[in-house]
Amino acid sequence: MTVIIGCGNLLRSDDGAGPMLIRKLWEQGVPPGVRLADGGTAGMDVAFQIGDADELILVDACKSGAEPGTIFEIPGEEVETPPLKDVNLHNFRWDHAIALGRWLLKSRFPKKVTVFLIEAENLSYGFGLSPTVEAALDRLAEELLQRLGGKKSEA
């Protein structure tokens, strides 16, 4: 099974890219063997969604200074943040969840973890994505559906 988890805050404009991607994939339909989860801003929720997946895909927004709408694909082991010292539930993020999941699940941890980060344009308070990030989200949804064996959208 492949688990796709979208992370981010829907009330911070482009930071909601991850949860918005999950909603888009729900609307389009995913192939059998794919489970979707809205990880929101709670890293611990991400940790609980990881179990028994063969592959894990995480999606979030980022602010790296790249062109807004740029999509980065990063192996999970490059962004997980062990050790888990001085972490509490208020600052426990998805990168901590990867490290926790690897430690907790051991052989049941997904064999492949991929993180997709979408460069945000606007992280101010408010609902809805900027047009640039919305277009990037459409591209990423299409790419993920094709990779996972789903049908190509008619859009």
The candidate with the shortest Cα–Cα distance to 35, out of 20, 45, 49, 18, is 49
Q: Are 70 and 136 in contact (CB under 8 A)?
A: yes
Banded model confidence at residue 2, pLDDT cuts 50, 70, 90: very high
Residue 16, both tokens: 């909601």
The candidate with the shortest Cα–Cα distance to 10, out of 24, 20, 23, is 20
Set out the domains of the chain in order of their start, with CATH numbers: 2-150 (3.40.50.1450)
What's the rounded Cα separation, in Å, for the pair 83 and 96?
9
Q: Across residues 119-128, what is the average pLDDT? A: 95
Which pLDDT value is given to residue 140?
98
Asked if residue 83 has a cis previous peptide bond (ω within 30° of 0), the answer is yes
Q: What is the pLDDT of residues 32-81, one digit of tens each?
A: 999 999 988 877 777 788 888 999 999 999 999 999 999 999 999 898 87
